[in-house]
Homo-oligomer: A and B are copies of this chain.
Amino acid sequence: MSKLFEDLDEGETFESGTHTVTKSEIVSFAEQFDPQPFHVDEAAAEDSMFGGLVASGLHTLSLATRLTVDDCLSEIANMGGSGMDELRWYTPVRPGDTLTVRAEILEKTPSDSHPDRGYVDFKRRVYNDDGDEVMSVISHNIVRRRAADEDS
């Protein structure tokens, strides 16, 4: 049974499983969505400020989202999302890095106009296997609220 808006607490945290990023995944994602030289071309990446091939920041965000869906949102009656803020990439993600996500509920607010839903803000922090924070982001989610005539 999925957690509804009322079942969630500000400060509640979720820990994800892990995903190890391969070079072919990095290149394949970037060829499709972000074909900049430092994401798709090893020689060009050596000459870039990264000094080697790095994952597109969008790829890191996408991998983090998959980890979040599997180990956090799958437990929650999530109806959708309205946006994100303060997305920051701190440390490049390189082939062989193993990523994990820690999600925390920052704030929850019932909707005034829609009694069936509430807004839940999550802060997600992504770490590599050295314990470096590689990315963080605040996501604005929409979560189903218990109907007034429903048992709690």
Query: What is the interface of chain A, defined by CB distance below 8 A to chain B?
Result: 32-36, 38, 48-50, 56-58, 61-63, 65-66, 69-70, 73, 78-89, 142
CA distance A33 to B61 in the complex (A): 9
* Further contacts, 19 of them, CB under 8 A, given A57-B83, A62-B62: A33-B62, A34-B62, A34-B65, A34-B69, A35-B66, A35-B69, A35-B70, A36-B73, A38-B80, A48-B80, A49-B79, A50-B80, A58-B58, A58-B61, A81-B89, A82-B88, A82-B89, A83-B89, A84-B84
Q: Is the CB of B69 within 8 A of A58?
A: no
Copies of this chain, complex-wide, total: 2
CA distance A32 to B89 in the complex (A): 21
Shortest distance from the beta carbon of A134 to any chain B beta carbon, whole Å: 12
Q: Is the CB of A84 within 8 A of B82?
A: no
Q: Is the CB of B57 within 8 A of A81?
A: yes
CA distance A91 to B139 in the complex (A): 17
